[in-house]
Structure 1
Amino acid sequence: MGFNSSNLKSGYKSAALLFLFAVAASATFAQETTIPIETANNAMVLQVAKNKDLNTIYFGVKLSNAAEYGKVPGVYNQDDYTGMLNSAYTSSGSRNLVEPAISVTHADGNNSLDLKYVSHNITKVSDDVSLLTIQLKDPVYDFEVTLYYKSYFKDDVIEQWSTIKNNEKGVVTLNKFASANLYLKAGSFWLRQYHGDWAKEMQPEETQITHGVKTIDTKLGTRANLFEPSVFMVSLDKPATEDEGTVLYGGVEWSGNFREDFELDPTDNLRIIAGANNYASAYTLKTGEDFKTPAVWYTLSDKGRGDASRKLQSWARNYKLLDGKGTRMTLLNNWESTYFDFNEQKLSELLKDTKKLGVDLFLLDDGWFANKYPRNGDHAGLGDWQENKSKLPNGIAALVKESQTDGVKFGIWIEPEMVNPKSILYEKHPDWVVKQPKRDEYYFRNQLVLDLTNPKVQDFVFNIVDSLFVKNPGLAFIKWDCNAVIYNAYSARLKDQSHFYVDYVRGLYKVLERIRAKYPVVPMMLCSGGGGRVDYAALQYFTEFWPSDNTDPIERIFIQWEYSYFYPAMASANHVTDWGKQPLKFRTDVAMMGRLGFDIVVSKLSGSDLQFAQDAVKTYNSVKQTIWQGDQYRLSDPREKNVASIMYLDAAKANGVMFNYLVNYRYDQGSKTPIRLKGLDPKKNYKLKEINLYPGASSSIDGEKTYQGDFLMKVGFNPQVNTGRSSVVLQISEIN
């Protein structure tokens, strides 16, 4: 073919167009999409890399110029062989070398997964709440994951979960299915976690995180927090104090087995992977099926633990706790008065004591049900929810009616998820019970767990609650207990036993959803032999939780202190009992830091003690809104000082309550120095008056003196706590 200039020009033109197209395509491919999730003070920033990986490039206090988030990776010089250490949702089996958030076996038996960014969308739920969804997909397999980040702007809280979907032609097995995969950069990291047992809840431990994987988890099936709660704190660079340091709070919203992995990676950064536990729970998905993971919540503060807890408490009251902006009832419980030994006459007297005490409600505890195998102890009757005719010949209805006549409300205890082997229910429906068919039964508190993966059992549990309300429309309160863990996990109904632990919790939530759909406002206490089941998934159905069966007031100061980092005061059910050697005033003062209740024999109180208790209920009613809805400030740590001090302050910074307790009774101990208050308006003037005094006692505090907020926060105030004044409650009032 001969030379032709027109062909040459045409070739140049085509080549130029191809070059420009290639450059444009390359630029499009190379463009890195940055996705910031900003709250009032913080930012989590995700970035789509050139290869479509989704990574976390920043998590901390937000920058003033959001455009500069994209510059963050460029200022680090850390080698990452895989390019996956900061993955926003780390998959396994491809090039990943660290702990994954998700691990699967595909329909063809392949174990590799490589999730690539497809798209994202941001929805404005309200002025305060936004929802970011990010779709990820494997380029080889028809398998996708959608990540959800729900951000609460004012409170600096983020909830995160995922939906995993199988579109392959065959069954896919989920071997791990975490909800959140966080990535933090700092010089060092310190983990504050909790451990415990019955009556020893919320024991803190704080250690520096070293290389490798630290796992906090539970395999108990139910009553999941008995040994290790799912809440945690991670401090950056140094252990955070109450008012200084950067700290991350987190927890899993799941009432069953959870798992939290803390991995210090080869580049000295921290990876946190949290969600439901995959222990014995490989979950299969058929074609078209999806799997929604439970939410994980977290909040970050650069102003210490106190600021983080106030954000979290506000968020909980606004969004997670049932009726979190509402009210709570004071009550008298019969448990420590009678245990299982009661009858209609005894309860009638206790109802009159309820009115005499001045509280709102009488709570009938365990022991009111079962006839063939009477509930006279914890060895029999559980599961047979008919009134015991010997104890209550006229049934619950007569007690509800009598309580109304006495001018108080009536509540009742149930443990509907459990069964005693010595019961009609166990005899009729052994297939409803969680137990291995070929193994010996092994009991926790002489009982077994009902199989809530079974819809018939779900109906049974719902009907227990529903029938109580149908028969007794005046019923005003439920105490829902859960005392057993799961041994010999097995469902007679399930074909795939690896689904059991997940489907059990889902079954529980189905029951609770049905109850709340029909009875949306009835207060219910979440009890589990103490704090064995408390999390923000369960608390969407309950108004309060029982922190511990240990009601010794000294012990409760420490237990309630630690719970308060994660849960608001109004969610904590605190009862005055005969545990401990402290006087009634001390026990009552401690119980006032939450929802106040009594579990004492009112008829055996001395005249002065009865007068004090009656006055204390009135005092509590006058300040409870500040305790429930106010900001909490921890002023003096009982693990560090002789005096524990906690303060609640309303949003206007006008009214507050300050609780002070002696926790060291050695010779001549007390508040030697003033305690600095927090949160006040430095320019306002305040009076501090002692309240909740015992009859005949006079206060050594001059309640007419005025102090400027600046003085109280910089110098402080001495509550004059000593062995003769072991608990002091102060009311703080703005003076105009």
Structure 2
Amino acid sequence: MITYQAENQRFTLETENTRYIFEILYEKYLVHLYYGAKNEAAAVYDARYKSFAPYMAEHGSTYSPDTCLAEFSGFGSGDFRATSLKLRNPNGDSVCSFAYRDHRIFGGRLELPGLPFAEADDDTQTLELALEDPATGCSVKLYYTLFPREDVISRYAVIQNGTGGDAVIEKCMSLLLDLPGCEYDMISLYGSHNSERHYQRRPLFHGNQSISSRRGASSHQYNPFIALCEHTATETAGEVYGFNFVYSGNFLDEVEVDQLCGTRVQIGLGSENFRWLLEPGERFVTPEAVMTYSAAGIGQMSRNFHRFIRGHILPPEPYEKRPVVLNTWEACLFSINEEELLRFADAAAECGMDMVVMDDGWFGARNNDKAGLGDWFANPHKFKDGLAVFADRMKAKGIKFGIWIEPEMVNPDSELYRAHPDWCLQVHGRENLLSRNQLVLDMANPAVLDYLKKSFSETFEGVAPDYFKWDMNRHMSEVGSAVLPPKRQGEAAYRYMLGVYELYRWFRRKFPHAMIENCSGGGGRYDLGMMKYSTMIWTSDNTWPKPRIKIQYSSMLAYPAATMSCHVSNPKNVCADPAVLKFRWQVAVGGALGYELHLPNASREIKDTIRRQIADYREYEDLILRGDYYPLCNPYEKEISAYYYTNTDHSRILLSALQNSGFSGEVYRLKIPGAQPDAVYYDKINDTTLTGRRLIDGIRYKTKDADPYGEMWYFIKQ
């Protein structure tokens, strides 16, 4: 609920468990007062004056832009902390300062043109704040949208040029939160290709600390999610603030501790490799950022985001049950042909799988990674009767048909590049660098989008793919566009992403019953922007189980299991031990289950094991994909990873413990505090019966001198 008190010009934004308060000081200045739990804590303006802090003569030192807790910060007008907006005015200066003009409160929310955004429901409510710079006529509208049941608030800004001349945005941020203290740890996710999203926690220090991407993608290296928590916060206790960005390109997460020990958090596009020209009257809409607060530890912050993403970001599930897929990549690489793929379909059906995904190698002159990208027609030597006939043969076996694409890329050795070398991102006079033998198409070029839509329409005519795996296997360099004038070249990376989103929306309209799995060399675009259009994301190209334990734990800090594509891999069938396959499966059922192995050549024992694994997964799939997640042991701090999934009343509980490293013989108590104490639970996996009180006290788990090793329990209330 959003309320406004006219007598003190105070706004209060309330979700089920949180309260956010700010007010208008002297009828002009937005000052932040409080964000946290619903309680009776005083929300009082504190001038926080300090020597050298600039102030307006009419108000004296009772208000300084440099020391107040703000909602939005202009550049060069007295606030020396990190700024929300830097705007180059027609006269050449970058000074801007915004005063309150008016507001409105309304149900629902506005759509963001060309951008992904969180969908509203019946409880959604929005506050629109209109601000204006009286010196230039430039205006900003700030939007706060409440998702009460999930305890999430989304933020974005709309900047309009009212100067009468051309203005250039040099930095813009979607969210600013000023907190009065600095005794926090910052949690972020770092990594690299094959090793994405690793948990990192460190105390804040005075000055600026940030994570960002300059790669044209949210990246393997730094994820847009961050959190601030009390030093003593655990999974189950302590204050935690979580932040994320609904965008898939370059970003900046910026945290600054100031001279007065206040903390400023900002999420947005930042300033590197971004300039946006606003002609008179034009508007720019920033991508959406989201924030949540938990008074009950890191785990509750995660569950807030999980529920929000499932309910407001992810597209509707195209099938009654998420298909268990068999992907060809690790087994076949580029060496695919129709006969071999039909053998995969037979083996998949035999094991109870739902779909075969034909990965790279099916199109153009694509026999390795050096040629063919951009030529989106079926290779006639591999599919002599055409792709539609092959798809019919596969579907006749009762197996859905999925296919791999990489629309944003092109090989220099391709028909497309030879015809249109100017369709790549490029800077005049500079040679383009290669990565994985490929270049990046200019998705800001309407001709490129038209070509891709036409190619995929023709190629998939009569095919009706059930599933697309959409990949992106390099980052951007030489970022420039042949279709933009010099004064707009700073817009190329952002316009590229708008083009990508347009193509995603086209795919969802053109193939409404198909599922999209996003991929970027694994989890290189594991973000809320991609999740808007993708049912799930390939978590990492690293499918080895022990590295995956940590990758999946860290991913779950911010993203629900429904977004994690997790495969059991055994590409050359080198693993003939069902016990090892069991451990890999136990890791993979932390998310949406799939397989990557040469199933036609697998032994009868392996096939029987997989059939049983899929049947077991189907029993508790709904808990994994739609239930609540409770982490118990952090694998970065312990030698095991342990967690459980449950429904809202804890009548069904899936508990998992995975030995990640070492052997100490340590005994862990895996406690399930939400279990019903007087209930009796049957453990279907281990055929035992326990009371709810015993679950609350904890299941005893002792590490074993075995590698690999894990245990699972599936408790059903009797």
Relative to the length of structure 1, the TM-score reads 0.89
Q: Distance in 1 between matches of 2:77 and 2:707?
A: 68
| 1:108 partner SS | coil
Corresponding position: 1:230 with 2:220: no
CA apart distance, 1:722: 5.7
Contact kept, 8 Å, 1:662 with 1:722, in 2: the verdict is no
Q: Counterpart amino acid of 2:86?
A: S
Distance 1:717 1:265, change over 3 A: same
Residue in structure 1 matching 2:587, options 590, 595, 600:
590
Map residues 123-522 of structure 1 onto 2, 5 A cutoff: 123-125=106-108, 126-222=121-217, 224-236=218-230, 238-323=231-316, 327-370=321-364, 374-473=365-464, 475-495=465-485, 496-522=488-514
Contact kept, 8 Å, 1:635 with 1:678, in 2: the verdict is no
**1:633-666 deviations in Å (ceiling 9; x for gaps):** 1122222333321210012321121122122354
Q: Counterpart amino acid of 2:35?
A: F
Q: Distance in 2 between matches of 1:331 and 1:727?
A: 24
Map residues 572-583 of structure 1 onto 2, 5 A cutoff: 572-578=564-570, 583=580
**1:210-249 deviations in Å (ceiling 9; x for gaps):** 1111121111113x3221111111113x152111111111
Q: Counterpart amino acid of 2:500?
A: L
**1:648-697 deviations in Å (ceiling 9; x for gaps):** 0012321121122122354xx5563432224322332212232xxxxxxx
Q: Could you say which residue in structure 1 is the equivalent of 2:97?
A: 114
Contact kept, 8 Å, 2:377 with 2:459, in 1: the verdict is no
| 1:620 partner SS | helix
Q: Could you say which residue in structure 1 is the equivalent of 2:645?
A: 648
Q: Distance in 1 between matches of 2:708 and 2:94?
A: 66
Q: Counterpart amino acid of 1:190?
A: D
Q: Distance in 1 between matches of 2:550 and 2:479?
A: 34
Q: Could you say which residue in structure 1 is the equivalent of 2:115?
A: none
RMSD of the TM alignment (CA)? 2.1
Q: Distance in 1 between matches of 2:674 and 2:301?
A: 14
Q: Distance in 1 between matches of 2:513 and 2:696?
A: 40
Q: Distance in 2 between matches of 1:276 and 1:724?
A: 44
Q: Distance in 2 between matches of 1:32 and 1:79?
A: 25
Map residues 11-90 of structure 1 onto 2, 5 A cutoff: 32-50=8-26, 52-64=28-40, 69=43, 72-73=44-45, 79=50, 81-82=53-54, 83-84=64-65, 85=67, 86-90=69-73
| 1:583 partner SS | helix
CA apart distance, 1:64: 4.5
Distance 1:612 1:720, change over 3 A: farther
Q: Counterpart amino acid of 1:226?
A: H
| 1:612 partner SS | helix
Q: Counterpart amino acid of 1:659?
A: S
| 2:517 partner SS | strand
Corresponding position: 1:533 with 2:525: yes
CA apart distance, 1:168: 2.2
Q: Counterpart amino acid of 1:143?
A: C
Higher strand fraction (1 or 2) = 2
Q: Counterpart amino acid of 2:689?
A: K
Contact kept, 8 Å, 1:116 with 1:136, in 2: the verdict is yes
| 1:596 partner SS | strand
* Higher alpha-carbon deviation: 434-443 or 561-570: 434-443
| 1:311 partner SS | helix
Residue in structure 2 matching 1:639, options 636, 643, 646:
636
Residue in structure 2 matching 1:550, options 542, 547, 555:
542
Q: Distance in 2 between matches of 1:719 and 1:179?
A: 47
Q: Could you say which residue in structure 1 is the equivalent of 2:116?
A: none
| 1:154 partner SS | helix
Distance 1:123 1:670, change over 3 A: farther
Q: Distance in 2 between matches of 1:446 and 1:130?
A: 48
Contact kept, 8 Å, 2:239 with 2:293, in 1: the verdict is yes
Q: Counterpart amino acid of 1:596?
A: L
**1:467-518 deviations in Å (ceiling 9; x for gaps):** 3443312x10000000111111111111121111111111111222222233
Contact kept, 8 Å, 1:218 with 1:277, in 2: the verdict is no
| 1:170 partner SS | coil
* Higher alpha-carbon deviation: 404-413 or 676-685: 676-685
From the CA coordinates, give the structure whose radius of gyration is larger.
Answer: 1
CA apart distance, 1:142: 1.4
Q: Distance in 2 between matches of 1:110 and 1:675?
A: 60
Q: Distance in 2 between matches of 1:653 and 1:94?
A: 54
| 2:390 partner SS | helix
Q: Distance in 2 between matches of 1:310 and 1:173?
A: 39
Q: Which runs of 5+ in 1 are unaligned?
A: 1-29, 691-700
CA apart distance, 1:34: 0.7
CA apart distance, 1:591: 0.8
Relative to the length of structure 2, the TM-score reads 0.91
Contact kept, 8 Å, 2:659 with 2:703, in 1: the verdict is no
Distance 1:51 1:119, change over 3 A: closer
Contact kept, 8 Å, 2:194 with 2:542, in 1: the verdict is yes
Q: Distance in 2 between matches of 1:479 and 1:336?
A: 14
Q: Distance in 1 between matches of 2:289 and 2:668?
A: 41
Q: Distance in 2 between matches of 1:341 and 1:106?
A: 57
Q: Distance in 1 between matches of 2:634 and 2:202?
A: 19
Distance 1:464 1:231, change over 3 A: farther
**1:505-534 deviations in Å (ceiling 9; x for gaps):** 111112222222333342100100011002
Q: Distance in 2 between matches of 1:725 and 1:556?
A: 13
Q: Counterpart amino acid of 1:571?
A: T
| 2:650 partner SS | coil
Q: Counterpart amino acid of 1:548?
A: S
Q: Distance in 2 between matches of 1:186 and 1:280?
A: 32
Q: Could you say which residue in structure 1 is the equivalent of 2:557?
A: 565
Q: Distance in 1 between matches of 2:629 and 2:317?
A: 15
**1:55-91 deviations in Å (ceiling 9; x for gaps):** 21111112358xx53xx225x8564824224221100
**1:528-559 deviations in Å (ceiling 9; x for gaps):** 00110021122111100011000001111110
Q: Distance in 1 between matches of 2:492 and 2:340?
A: 43
Distance 1:77 1:92, change over 3 A: closer
Q: Counterpart amino acid of 1:565?
A: L
Distance 1:215 1:77, change over 3 A: closer
CA apart distance, 1:194: 1.8
